[in-house]
Amino acid sequence: MTELNGARVLVTRPVHQAENLSRLIEQHGGIAVRFPTLEIVESADLVAIQKTLAYLDEFQWLIFISSNAVNFALKANGGKIAQPKTLRLGAIGKATANALAMAGLSIDLLPEQPYNSEALLAVADMQNVEGQRVLIVRGEGGREELANTLRSRGADVHYLNVYKRSVPSTNNAEVISLLEQQKLDIITVTSGESLQNLLIMLDAAHHRQLFALPLVVVSDRIKQLAVELGFKRIAVVSSPSDEAIFETVNQSNRGIAWPN
């Protein structure tokens, strides 16, 4: 595999999710510039989470939006979630499914790539949900596409918010210095909120320099947001895994043309 030859790659993942991608970059001759643009913390209302998880037999479907949703639900509930025999579990992607499996939970539904709400909704089991009760485990303020579509198909949909997102108070001095010296090479972003926070955390005087850098994102939806914000060179990875993100970063280092 081609070495990155000292390329500086901005890693914007939350602190607890950044190390695997950073390690891949560093193992192949790059420099991972850790700059978390999203902070994820547990919900304050642990009692409400525990009460909901105690009555899962009232639902036919339990859908986890992310591995964070799994991990924070487990944390709030003492590390375990009891799965009634009548309850079916859905995961939005492989990382989410792996987190459920590690917790000893059986997974009934995992969509094909791309791992998103639209892919989940396209699965046959999600077509005939009329009269079924669905609990979606997520972070506060997530996308509404999944719930709205299931409701339009006749499902009774409820949310369980187990974490919340915020803009971290990260020191931006290193990133500003690298931008001013033109020593930052590539940006990686894994959510629309992280991308928007990146612009919030760096003053407008440096946005033009950001927009000119190659940007690696994990979905067409984030790419569209990036275009609207002003980014010029954007690549979408084949999957949201760290390995796929790294491979796209590595391709850019070999001079492969970036799409607009």
- What is the per-residue pLDDT for 252? 75
- Rounded Cα distance, 238 and 216, in Å: 11
**What residue segments make up the domains of the chain, in order of their start?**
8-38+170-253, 41-165
- What is the per-residue pLDDT for 119? 86
- What is the per-residue pLDDT for 253? 65
Beta-bridge partners for 158: 135
- Rounded Cα distance, 46 and 54, in Å: 12
- What is the per-residue pLDDT for 254? 66
CATH ID of 8-38+170-253, from 3.40.50.10090, 3.40.50.1110, 3.40.50.150, 3.60.70.12? 3.40.50.10090
- Rounded Cα distance, 41 and 25, in Å: 26
- What is the per-residue pLDDT for 115? 73
* pTM of the entire predicted model: 0.81
41-165 has the same fold as 8-38+170-253: yes
41-165: what CATH class?
alpha beta
* Positive or negative: CA dihedral 193, 194, 200, 204: negative
| Among 155, 212, 165, residue whose Cα is nearest residue 193 | 165
- Rounded Cα distance, 174 and 181, in Å: 11
Phi-psi region of 255 (alpha: psi -120 to 50; beta: other; left: phi over 0): left
Beta-bridge partners for 73: none
- What is the per-residue pLDDT for 3? 85
- What is the per-residue pLDDT for 259? 56
- What is the per-residue pLDDT for 129? 95
Please give, one letter per residue, the 3-state secondary structure of the chain.
Answer: CCCCCCCEEEECCCHHHCHHHHHHHHHCCCEEEECCCCEEEECCCHHHHHHHHCCHHHCCEEEECCHHHHHHHHHHCCCCCCCCCCCEEEECCHHHHHHHHHCCCCCCECCCCCCCHHHHHHCHHHCCCCCCEEEEEEECCCCCHHHHHHHHCCCEEEEEEEEEEECCCCCCHHHHHHHHCCCCCEEECCCHHHHHHHHHHCCHHHHHHHHHCEEEECCHHHHHHHHHHCCCEEEECCCCCHHHHHHHHHHHHCCCCCCC
- What is the per-residue pLDDT for 233? 92
* pLDDT, block means (10 residues), the chain with 260 residues: 86 94 96 96 92 96 94 95 94 91 93 82 92 96 89 97 92 96 96 95 95 93 95 90 92 62
